[in-house]
């Protein structure tokens, strides 16, 4: 597993969101997420755990759909 800096993680996530939903909806999503305080764990479970799976099962699904990156020496 690659450990990323905070800046690298932000850039990666911004790029992923932009590719998925476009610039405008990416900005809207960020505003929506920061607008109100929330318990992120409860929110995540209600949004992403529709099939009754554990977080580990969900992580395995994500890994299965994530392209593998080649590490350059």
- Tens digits of residue pLDDT in 20-40: 899 999 899 888 888 877 777
Q: What angle do CA 8, 11, 17 make, to 5 degrees?
A: 140
Q: How confident is the model at residue 7 (pLDDT cuts 50, 70, 90)?
A: very high
Domain ranges within the chain, ordered by starting residue: 1-36, 37-67
Question: Is the CA virtual torsion 9, 10, 12, 13 positive or negative?
Answer: positive
Placement of tokens 């580990």 in the chain: 56
Instruction: Report the run of H or E that residue 72 belongs to, with start and end.
Output: none
């Amino acid at each position: 597993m690659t450990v990323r800096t905070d800046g690298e993680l932000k850039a990666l996530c911004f790029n992923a969101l932009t590719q998925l939903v476009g610039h405008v909806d990416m900005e809207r999503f960020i505003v929506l997420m920061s607008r109100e305080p929330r318990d992120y764990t409860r929110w995540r479970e209600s949004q992403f755990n529709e099939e009754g799976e554990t977080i580990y099962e969900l992580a395995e699904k994500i890994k299965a759909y994530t392209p593998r990156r080649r590490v350059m020496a």
